[in-house]
Amino acid sequence: MIPELGEFALILAMLLAALQAFFGIMGPALRRDRWMAAVTPAVSGQFVMVATSMGCLITSFINNDFSVKYVAENSNSSLPLFYRVAALWGAHSGSLILWIFLLALWSIAAAIGTSRLPKPFASRVIGVLGVISFGFLLYTLATSNPFLRLDPPWPDGESLNPVLQDPGLAAHPPVLYTGYVGLAVAFAFAGAAMLEGRLDREWARWTRPWTTAAWAFLSCGIALGSWWAYYTLGWGGFWFWDPVENASFMPWLMATALIHSLAVTEKRGLFKSWTLLLAVLAFSLSLVGTFLVRSGVLVSVHSFAASPGRGTFILAFLIVMIGSALALYAWRAPLLKSEAGFELTARESFLLFNNILLVTACATVFAGTIAPLIAGPLGIGKLSVGPPYFNPTFLLSILPLLALLSVGIHAGWKRGNLGRRARILLLAFIAAAVIGCGVVFGFFTGGRVLSPVGVALGVWIILSSLIDPIDRLRRHISIPRAVLGMTLAHIGLGIFVISITSVEAFTAERDVALSAGGIAQLGAYQFQFQGVKPIEGADYSGVAGTVILKHNGALVDVMHPQKREYWVQHTVTTHSAIYMYRVSNVLVALGQDLGDGRWSLRLQVRPLVTFIWLAAFIMAAGGMLAISDRRYRLEREPAAALTPAALAAVPAVTRSEAG
């Protein structure tokens, strides 16, 4: 009964999404106020139906209803309650439900957020979101319905993939999807502006908080995934340049570019068509990412999530959504005029470089990701693209970006005059260079050619980000939250650069075979193995080792790396023990039983690795802080439509629209 209710709610949601799209887009086009008034009830109804549907699926999981195929394939009665709920997004159909639910949530938020904006614009935004919702609901119902029944029901489920039974990974998809889907709002704002044929500085101000929020979630989502990969896999580090990782990273790069170009559009009325294009591309890349992940055309770390037969539908959806957005762009973007010019050394130039470099970085990642697709069938030769391609090409565009950042944030708008800041910037640079080289060559031996460069750039970014806030503090000038947020995000970036550099240069690892009482040395650390003990959990049994960790002979921690065998699927997973000592991560993974009480152990010391993820969260926190700025709290907005520039733009365009 409950699954049928869920399916029915999903069908209703699809119909309501269709109404939402129709009224939202056609209402303003035909100037029907009553149609526009129907948009809010439609989107609210859609949300309620989607939430009902998701609630039904969760209920089936909680009740262990193994007559539902999706539940039977992804859950098990021995699974703890927490993972029974998280199992919802453990496979394809359920993660689509999660996607649709989050999109409905963003749509409701957008409906509330735009309620004070001009009615036709708000209506178009929700209309465009309705088109996306409709597409995904249709896709789910047509190809991936999670409510299908089994006859007869299975006595018990096949259980959730054990590698997914982990708090980090349970949290990763919802957060990442929130970011992915959030970019749909920026896309909808761009779509509404193009349908209207008008884009002014107010538009950029309305769009900024939505973009930044989506970006912040995306940052956290990517960091969670990378963190999980690090401590579960432990073998190859924290980033694999895997197609699925790239699929989340490319929209992030685009969203980062969009945040910066929106700043220019808001402050100076420039880069308008470029900003539109970025808003379209950022969400398009998350759609293309979905395609790559779900269609199974690319081989990936995450290949268990792929389902090849569904690719065709997503491709058709891509063509409709992205194709029409880009066609609209080709038609409307030429209408947008820049409101001013700027000098080469002005902040606008720096942000332009920022955008060019970020888009280039994104393009290189994109090229590397789809290269196997092109090379294979065309027979250009078989390509295997991996870190040897990605690392250098990515650095090629990112290093100049990092170098320009420190100067760029101090350049003035319109006329670039660093003025008195030039001196202190130079001082900061010298300090950073000294620290960079000093740390790398002084404290550590070894390292790579780029290590001092990386540390110096990171330190420079942090120091120069601090100049402005400190200056304001000394002169008792209040700091707007937007500036504070930007500063925090840039400091996060600096920390990120330093920690990546440190991990790349100074990681130490060793594989050893030890019997109880045996000691292994790695750097200044001693690991004393004390043997293993059996352990038992809700749906697994296994062994836990005991390793005493000492640093220069002083006791630091007792570590318990585990090896678990999950009963239902006969799958063994490795749970590394990780201890953070000072700023280094010490990792011990339990390997194979070599017999006679001897075990193989993998030991790693990675300095600063935790700061990579911490930095991502700092960046996200900076974004959230910026959103809370007073400027974005929408007071009644009569001025919005009445700026002289906007007034001048409106009649011309509406005429061309009518004619």
Which residue is listed with tokens 């420190």? Answer: 406
How far apart are CB 276 and another protein at their closest, in Å?
A: 10
Q: Which of residues 285-314 bind another protein (CB under 8 A)?
A: 288, 291, 295-304, 306-309, 311-312
Q: Which of residues 210-239 bind another protein (CB under 8 A)?
A: 233, 235-236
Residue 486 three-state SS: helix
**Omega before residue 638 within 30° of 0, cis:** no
How far apart are CB 296 and another protein at their closest, in Å?
A: 5
- Binding segment for another protein (CB under 8 A), chosen from 30-38, 88-96, 274-282, 350-358, is 274-282
Sequence-distant (6+) residues with CB within 8 A of 392 are none
Q: Can residue 23 be called a binding residue for another protein (CB under 8 A)?
A: no
Which residue is listed with tokens 């400190």? Answer: 470
The two structure tokens encoding residue 512: 């050893």
**CB closer to another protein, 325 vs 407:** 325
Dihedral angle of Cα 206, 209, 215, 217, to the nearest 10 degrees: -130
Sequence-distant (6+) residues with CB within 8 A of 515 are 529, 596, 597, 598, 599
How far apart are CB 357 and another protein at their closest, in Å?
A: 19
Q: Can residue 638 be called a binding residue for another protein (CB under 8 A)?
A: no
**CB closer to another protein, 237 vs 469:** 237
Sequence-distant (6+) residues with CB within 8 A of 508 are 522, 523, 604, 605
Q: What are the beta bridge partners of residue 527?
A: 520, 549
**CB closer to another protein, 63 vs 303:** 303
The two structure tokens encoding residue 535: 């352990």
Please provide the DSSP assignment of 52-94 as one string: HHHHHHHHHHHTT-TTBHHHHHH--TTS-HHHHHHGGGSSHHH
The two structure tokens encoding residue 649: 């733009």
Task: Please select the residue that binds another protein; options are 5, 48, 318, 466, rule is CB under 8 A.
Answer: 318
How far apart are CB 383 and another protein at their closest, in Å?
A: 8
The two structure tokens encoding residue 551: 């640093």
**CB closer to another protein, 281 vs 435:** 281
Task: Please select the residue that binds another protein; options are 170, 224, 333, 453, rule is CB under 8 A.
Answer: 333
- Total of chain residues touching another protein, rule CB under 8 A: 64
Q: At what angle do helices 481-506 and 450-474 cross, to 10 degrees?
A: 160
Residue 628: Cβ within 10 Å count = 13
HSE (CB half, 13 Å, CA atoms) of 561?
A: 30
Among the listed residues 283, 285, 303, the one whose alpha carbon sits nearest the alpha carbon of residue 293: 303
**CB closer to another protein, 219 vs 232:** 232
Residue 164 and residue 90 in contact, taking contact as beta carbons nearer than 8 Å: yes
Task: Please select the residue that binds another protein; options are 148, 320, 327, 555, rule is CB under 8 A.
Answer: 327
**CB closer to another protein, 304 vs 441:** 304
Among the listed residues 29, 25, 59, 58, the one whose alpha carbon sits nearest the alpha carbon of residue 42: 25
Residue 5: Cβ within 10 Å count = 15
* x-marked contacts with another protein along 158-187 as a string, rule CB under 8 A: ---xxx------------------------
**CB closer to another protein, 409 vs 590:** 590
How far apart are CB 373 and another protein at their closest, in Å?
A: 4
How far apart are CB 477 and another protein at their closest, in Å?
A: 42
Q: What is the distance between the alpha carbons of residues 275 and 31, in angstroms, rounded to a whole number?
A: 27
* x-marked contacts with another protein along 500-529 as a string, rule CB under 8 A: -----------x------------------
Q: Can residue 277 be called a binding residue for another protein (CB under 8 A)?
A: yes
Please provide the DSSP assignment of 270-336 as one string: -SHHHHHHHHHHHHHHHHHHHHHHHH--S--TTGGG--GGGHHHHHHHHIIIIIHHHHHHHHHGGG-
Residue 350 and residue 410 in contact, taking contact as beta carbons nearer than 8 Å: no
Residue 567 and residue 160 in contact, taking contact as beta carbons nearer than 8 Å: no
Write the secondary structure of 432-464 as one string of H (helix), E (strand) and C (coil): HHHHHHHHHHHHCCCCCCHHHHHHHHHHHHHHH
**CB closer to another protein, 64 vs 573:** 573
**CB closer to another protein, 308 vs 341:** 308
- Binding segment for another protein (CB under 8 A), chosen from 116-124, 126-134, 317-325, 518-526, is 317-325
* x-marked contacts with another protein along 537-566 as a string, rule CB under 8 A: ----------------------------x-
How far apart are CB 301 and another protein at their closest, in Å?
A: 6
**CB closer to another protein, 272 vs 481:** 272
* x-marked contacts with another protein along 239-268 as a string, rule CB under 8 A: -x-x--------------------------
Sequence-distant (6+) residues with CB within 8 A of 273 are 329, 333, 334, 336
Task: Please select the residue that binds another protein; options are 152, 377, 651, 659, rule is CB under 8 A.
Answer: 377
**CB closer to another protein, 109 vs 233:** 233
**CB closer to another protein, 318 vs 634:** 318
How far apart are CB 590 and another protein at their closest, in Å?
A: 9
Q: Can residue 380 be called a binding residue for another protein (CB under 8 A)?
A: no
- CA distances 221 to 161, 170, 246, 249, 468, Å, are 20, 11, 13, 10, 30
**CB closer to another protein, 20 vs 295:** 295
Chain centroid offset of residue 430 CA: 34
- Binding segment for another protein (CB under 8 A), chosen from 38-46, 206-214, 322-330, 500-508, is 322-330
Among the listed residues 404, 451, 453, 447, the one whose alpha carbon sits nearest the alpha carbon of residue 432: 453
**CB closer to another protein, 210 vs 274:** 274
The two structure tokens encoding residue 572: 């063994």
Q: Which of residues 568-597 bind another protein (CB under 8 A)?
A: 569-574, 589, 591-592
Q: Which of residues 37-96 bind another protein (CB under 8 A)?
A: none
**CB closer to another protein, 45 vs 296:** 296
How far apart are CB 123 and another protein at their closest, in Å?
A: 26
Q: Can residue 275 be called a binding residue for another protein (CB under 8 A)?
A: no
The two structure tokens encoding residue 648: 């001048």
- Residues contributing to the site for another protein (CB under 8 A): 161-163, 233, 235-236, 240, 242, 273, 277, 280-281, 284, 288, 291, 295-304, 306-309, 311-312, 315, 318-319, 322-323, 326-327, 329-331, 333-334, 370, 373-374, 376-377, 382, 384, 386, 511, 565, 569-574, 589, 591-592, 600, 602
